[in-house]
Amino acid sequence: MLVSPAMAASDTQISSSIHQNDSTQSGIDISITDTSSPVTAGEDLSVEVTVSNNGDRWEWQLLRLYDGNGNYLAADWMWLWGGETKTQTITWNTDTSADTTESITVKTDDASATAPVTIKPGSAGIDLSITETNSPVRAGEDVSVEVTASNNGADGQWQYL
């Protein structure tokens, strides 16, 4: 707000109205309404969060996503008018080595909600391709196959062929 010399006489009223607005009670309710669980390790886990502002003033809320051990995973901002309820999705790209059933928690400064999620083990990341054979063969002859194996995973892998 820009205050000009002409407004100086009403400074008391301006301060008073700002003070009244700041003293207004607010209350934030939060719930996890849906998740994309179960997901495979390495995929995105989407968490749908509904937030209600039960007060009569606007609120900025930082929605923070944590795993069951309290480790920070992701965050997103939400703006709410007084009395407004909104739904927003927070997305976390799960670790490729994750394999667990745990809880996730979404927190604001004023509230939190927890829900169970399942992260299934990812694929080994091994791609196989046949590069050469001695085909066609006759009955009773050996078939020779040349295979190329590529590890596209994050970790070393053992794979029986």
Q: Please provide the DSSP assignment of 101-156 as one string.
A: EEEEEEE-SS-EEEEEEEEEPPP--EEEEEEEE--S--TTPPP-EEEEEEE-SSS-
Alpha-carbon gap, residue 20 to 59, rounded angstroms:
16
**The pairing of beta strand 100-107 with beta strand 145-151:** unpaired
Question: pLDDT tens, 31-56?
Answer: 999 999 999 888 899 999 999 999 99
CATH number at residue 95: 2.60.40.2550
* Per-residue confidence (pLDDT) for residue 78, from 0 to 100: 95
* Per-residue confidence (pLDDT) for residue 158, from 0 to 100: 62
Query: Which residue type sits at 50?
Result: T
Range of the domain at 106: 23-120
In the chain, which residues have pLDDT < 50?
A: 1-25
Residue 147 lies in a domain: no
* Per-residue confidence (pLDDT) for residue 40, from 0 to 100: 86
* Per-residue confidence (pLDDT) for residue 137, from 0 to 100: 86
| Domains of the chain: total | 1
> Is the Cβ–Cβ distance between 63 and 108 less than 8 Å?
yes
pTM above 0.85, yes or no: no
* Per-residue confidence (pLDDT) for residue 153, from 0 to 100: 61
Please name the residues in contact with 19: beta carbons below 8 A apart, sequence gap of 6 or more: none
